[in-house]
Amino acid sequence: MRLIQRLALLAYAAAAVLGVGSLALAWADISIPVFSSLLERPFAAVEGVLLCIVALNVLVSVGRALFSPRRAPRAVRVPETTIEVTVRALESSVRAAVEESGAFMVDRVEGKVPRRSPDRARFTVEVVPLIEEGIAEAAAGAQERANAACERLVGAPCANVRVVVLPAVTTTVVRKESE
């Protein structure tokens, strides 16, 4: 594939130099031997092919630039350094901090780093409560512990943790009584 890309790049460069150069020289009425030999041939055919190659490559380049998806950052930058901490490491820290109290079982942790602020991460932690009372206070405590754990790992405030409490899983057993 690299060979095909290099050959296409060479064809594009040659077409750009020859096509655009000869067209510019024709418009300016300047005669250079290399370009005038191209102009002696049927002008429309040579220029048409060269300019079509240039136009196609420009369209492909613009299409790639506009429509190719940009990847979200996968790491949080530590402020004023060149160090980055991966989202997976922070997710592991968040999971451990939330499960630390024993009040919740973590179902899922999802972390994202927004493109606009690569030094902050947003985490959504879905938990199942293992307690029956004081769930809101326990969730607030888990959220604070998770934020503190990320701050200890990175060395600066870097995370916004949101704890979502899922309903506790219940099992219904249907028993049929014999007559």
In a domain, 172, yes or no: no
Tell me the pTM: 0.58
- Both tokens of residue 143? 């959220």
DSSP code, position 1: -
Contact 154, 114 (CB under 8 A): no
Provide the number of structural domains found in the chain. 2
Is residue 85 domain-shared with residue 55, that is, in the same domain?
no
Query: Is residue 171 in a domain?
Result: no
Is there a contact between 123 and 94 (Cβ–Cβ < 8 Å)? yes
Domain that holds residue 153: 75-165
Helices (H), the chain: 2-15, 21-28, 33-40, 43-67, 87-99, 135-154
Residue 123: phi, psi to the nearest 5? -120, 140
Does residue 176 fall inside a structural domain? no
Residue 107 lies in a domain: yes
Q: What is the mean pLDDT of each run of 10 residues along the chain (179 residues)?
A: 72 73 72 64 66 75 77 83 90 93 91 87 93 91 94 88 85 63
Q: pLDDT at position 155, please?
A: 85
